Amino acid sequence: MALSKRQSFVILSAASATVSIAAFPIQVLSAQPNPGGNGVQQMNILQAIFLGFVQGVTEFLPISSTAHLKVVPVALGWGDPGVAFTAIIQLGSIAAVLWYFWQDLTQIIKGAVKAIAQKDYDNYDFRLALGIILGTLPIILFGLLIKKFIPDFDNSPIRSVGAIAIASIIMSLLLGVAEQLGKRQRNFEKLTMNDGLLMGLAQALALIPGVSRSGSTLTEGLFMGLERETAARFSFLLGIPAITLAGLVELKDVIGADLGSAGIISLIAGVISAAIFSYIAIAGLLRFLKTRSTWIFIWYRLIFGVVILGAIGAGLLKNS
C-alpha cells in the first residue's frame, strides 16, 4: 500500500535522525571547543555582507537564522562569527520588519492608546497590543534564567553544530505535523490575547539554537488553527520586541571590543545587508503563504539537519 505524504515524512524524519545519531554518536553529540565564543569574530566587508544576506533570508523564513549563521561561515572556513555579531546584524532585520509593518504598528499603538484613554479594554487594537506584550514575556523570562543559571550558555554543547542539526530535524517534524493537522480557519481579525501568550511560549523555544523563532511560532500558529499568512504575520509582529532586545543586549560586547574602523564598517555593512534581504524575505513569505503550504521549508529543514549530521559523522565538519 502506498504511503501518504504525511506518513512518508514522519517515517523518513524519524529514521534519518535515528540513523545519523546512532551511526556517529560521539561525533554528533559531543561538542568540541568553540573558539568563536560570544565575542565578535573579525569579518571583512564581503563576508559581513554575505552573512547579512544569510541573516536576512533566514530570520523570517521558518528555517533558523541562528543555525545558518553558525553553520554557513564554519562550513566556509570563516569560523563562528560569534553571538554578538549575530545579534547585532539582527538589528537590520528589525529595521526591515518595522519598515514593512509600520502602518500596522502605528494603527495598533494609536488604537491601544485611545482604548486605554477611553477605558475600552475590549478594543481590538488594545487586545492585540497586549497579546504582543504578553507574548514577549516568556522569551525575556527564560532568557534571564539562562543568563543566571547557565552563564556559559553561548559556548555550551547545546549551541554546537550537531545540536543545531538535531533541533532542525525535530522542528521539521513538528511543522510537518502542524501543517497536516492545522485547521487554518482563523484570520488576523480573530486573534486573541491567548494567542499572543501561546505563540510567545513557542517563541521562547527559539532560545535553543536551530529551533527558529519564525519556525516555532509559525508551527504554534498552525496548531492553533490560524491561516498560514496570519500565523506568519503575527509571528513577525511578535518578534519585533524579542529581536530588538537581543540586538541591544549584545551591543555591549561590540562597544567594549577593539574592532577598529574596518570591523565597524563590516558590521554596518552586515546590518544594511540584513535589512535589505529581510524585507525581501518578509514580503516574499507572506505572498507565498497566501497560496502555498510550508512543505518546502519542512523538507529543507529535514535535509539541512541530516546533511550536517552526516558531515560531522564523516569528519567533514567540526562539531564546534
| pLDDT exceeds cutoff 60 at 260 | no
Q: What is the DSSP-derived secondary structure letter of residue 186? A: B
Domain span at 15: 5-31+39-313
Q: Which cell is 103 given?
A: 502602518
> What is the percent of the chain where pLDDT is above 90?
58
How many of the other CB atoms lie within 10 Å of CB of 124? 17
Number of structural domains in the chain:
1
Q: Are 96 and 315 in contact (CB under 8 A)?
A: no
Chain Cα centroid distance, residue 172:
13
Average pLDDT over residues 256-284: 83
CA proximity to 70, closest of 212, 266, 261, 252? 212
Distance CA 196, CA 300 (A): 27
Q: For residue range 59-107, what is the model confidence (pLDDT) as tens digits?
A: 999 999 988 998 899 888 888 787 778 878 888 998 999 999 999 999 9
CA proximity to 219, closest of 240, 189, 199? 199
Whether 319 is covered by a domain: the verdict is: no
The predicted pLDDT at position 189 comes to: 87
Through-space distance between the first and last CA atoms of the chain, rounded to whole angstroms: 43
Element (H, E) at 144: helix 124-149
Q: C-alpha angle 150/154/156, rounded to 5°?
A: 70
Distance CA 61, CA 127 (A): 26
Residue 228: pLDDT band (50, 70, 90) is very high
Q: For residue range 31-41, what is the model confidence (pLDDT) as tens digits?
A: 444 444 445 55
**Range with the largest mean pLDDT of 63-67, 76-80, 143-147, 304-308:** 304-308
Residue 261: pLDDT band (50, 70, 90) is low
Distance CA 198, CA 6 (A): 25
Chain Cα centroid distance, residue 319:
21
Rg of the Cα atoms in the chain = 20
| pLDDT exceeds cutoff 90 at 142 | yes
How many of the other CB atoms lie within 10 Å of CB of 292? 11
Q: For residue range 204-221, what is the model confidence (pLDDT) as tens digits?
A: 999 998 999 999 999 999
Query: For residue 124, is it left (φ>0), alpha (ψ between -120 and 50) or beta?
Result: alpha
Whether 318 is covered by a domain: the verdict is: no
User: Is pLDDT larger for residue 23 or for residue 195?
Assistant: 195
User: Is pLDDT larger for residue 122 or for residue 13?
Assistant: 122
Full-model pTM: 0.82
| pLDDT exceeds cutoff 50 at 53 | yes
The predicted pLDDT at position 4 comes to: 55
User: Is pLDDT larger for residue 7 or for residue 220?
Assistant: 220
**Range with the largest mean pLDDT of 10-24, 25-39, 133-147:** 133-147
